Structure 1
């Protein structure tokens, strides 16, 4: 899809930060009948993976998140805490004149969307999270190094949290993108944990065929264009553990989401970072959780199964609107 064909906007929000975002209005839009979808991307991503929900009558607002593209790029990791990101998202909704939205998040965006439901529970009609299950605030501070030990599949996060990762990924950005967007059935399957054994060697020597990548050449080039401004800022999300913990502790943030909030979780069965144990645990904190597994899909469900995911989410929302919960959509 042509990035220039979308309605791009730039705004300084009431939080003082400037965001670039795409704002797609469907034909004959009826805001009182159809909610706005606020989409939140993860790493290494951007606004670009947007589902064609406007065909279903939804308004779709998709920001480049803090640190990406033409959105502000503060240097210090503390600026990327989810409390501050969620304040930005609430301010973005204010700017576009939307009181409540359906919030959809993938990867870091899924984590942020889940926290948005805690920091600003009155701003959501419904919540959709992709690939990363909901996890509650932790009762004790857990540094990323400890997370890496307790959850070996997430060990790469310790590398991403290091200063060295910014230098390595800037120097080998295209190769890193090719590795990140490999097909789950790739002949030379790449796990980000491989970077722990020697990032320089992996980033320079691992050969990936074009046929093993889920992005086309134009899509890959666009990602490179957006991210070549520097990887330090996107990687700052991995450096926020202490700031997030302190903010959530000081606010006594609850563990459970709003009881009447409908939540849909979609994930690929070949996503090695998404474990059944964490998915099962999330049911303890979400009263109205529906889970759908996408067989044979990996982490990038909005790329691998865009039409399928778009239809599933649209059908789920349409069912909510025809048989509305209390309070209604």
Structure 2
């Protein structure tokens, strides 16, 4: 059997690990995402920020800390960055050694909310507590691009990278030590998330250093997928894979806790990955790029998107990662 070709290098400049100057292009935006999970404490972290559709210098951020017992500490905010190469708001993304060592910080406040409330509707307004996060990330491999994402209106460049991490989350004065793994991504270019159908985007990191990324984005209304991208890798490089079969898409909110199975083929070898949800955090996509907290059922929402901490099994090993799945809603312009 011929081993699959492995990609060891990447095409990105060090400057690509920072925010890019806004472009005078219709629909142009930029987003950064970080996810992490600590198996020992059963605590997870998710942060996403993007340039807004109405002012590309203004950043819109959402943050969630996943706590045991279906509890979440959540926050949403806006802010202007101190420079065009830095995000704004309470989040910061630093790259002391681009694509090798990164640091995510959040210094602000959050609400403590039960998962049931967030799955039933938007996050209510209520009392906040202090939230301070610092996560240091060490790359588990080179970043990788996912090819041309322009046909799906997802930007013109998108890369992802897996990491191990250490740090702490201080919530309402209580410090939680974090040690685990996660992933981050960065996208820029014209972007409109409302055009896609249901999708899954699943990442996992495993004790032997392997990791995987599998992404399938259906076309709203049917037809060929907007994106069908799958890789497996480790510190030595990555291998492109093809999707053989899966049951990972969902089309109803009631399926948010459903487990899944994905079968990939790489170099003639079949890889079976199974996953289950540890904690599902619902967000909503509103407008072309904004994310809100909880389940938005208004006409402005195009999708409910579940950013779930997940447990995966692959060839006898157990790993952890992010499972992102969406349930589409009618687009605003299609509602009479």
Q: Which TM-score band applies after superposition, normalised by the shorter structure? A: under 0.3
Q: Which has the higher contact order (CA 8 A, sep 6+)?
A: 1
* TM-score (structure 2 length as normaliser): 0.24
Higher helix proportion: 1
